[in-house]
Amino acid sequence: MTQYKGNEPKSIAYTAVANVTGGRNGRGISTEPDLDLKLDTPVAMGGKGEGTNPEQLFAIGWGACFQGALGLAGKEMRIAGSKLAQCKLRSHVSIGDEGESFGIKAKMEVYLPGIDRETAEKLVNRTQELCPYSKATAGNVPTEIVVVDSLD
């Protein structure tokens, strides 16, 4: 078995556990709280698109984590919580051919109304340094994070 021997958290606050059967066309179950998802390959990849796919789950997880880390970066930079509460984020996770298998790439669009562009870009850059998902994918997943004027 391969095990990464890099930096580990000093303490573990929570561990998510999921049981998956059938791969992309199967079922994923997690508890505490209960989550039971039908999994299906997207239509664009030849599936029926009748269930959730791993890229959707990764996009939601990374987006939620990034937005949480944004709050931490905002506190560091002394940005009012009321301004950060208006933040909206759209995360994209794409999958495609990469040699003999597949690879992913990501894009985050961050909308920060009421925060000037220069401060917003500094905030987003610091967030990327703090977000566990961003750290986990750094150097492994081509990622673009951009401050946008709207998500419409």
Mean pLDDT of the chain: 93
At 72, list the tokens. 């931490």
How many C-beta neighbours within 10 Å does residue 63 have? 22
Cis-peptide, bond into residue 54, ω within 30° of zero: no
What structural domains does the chain harbor? 1-52 (2.20.25.10), 53-148 (3.30.300.20)
Q: What percent of the chain has pLDDT over 70?
A: 96
Task: Identify the pLDDT of residue 96.
Answer: 94
Task: Identify the pLDDT of residue 4.
Answer: 64
- The yes-or-no verdict on residue 141 having pLDDT over 90 is yes
- The yes-or-no verdict on residue 112 having pLDDT over 90 is yes
Cβ-Cβ contacts under 8 Å for 48 (sequence gap 6 or more): 40, 41
84-101 average pLDDT score: 95
pTM of the prediction?
0.90
29-86 per-position pLDDT tens digit: 998 889 999 999 999 999 999 999 999 999 999 999 999 999 999 999 999 999 999 9
Task: Identify the pLDDT of residue 7.
Answer: 75
Task: Identify the pLDDT of residue 6.
Answer: 66
Angle between helices 54-76 and 117-130 (to 10 degrees): 110
Which SS3 state, helix, strand or coil, does residue 92 take? strand
Largest CA distance in the chain: 49
Helices (H), the chain: 54-76, 81-84, 117-130, 132-137
d(CA 39, CA 19): 12
Task: Identify the pLDDT of residue 152.
Answer: 87
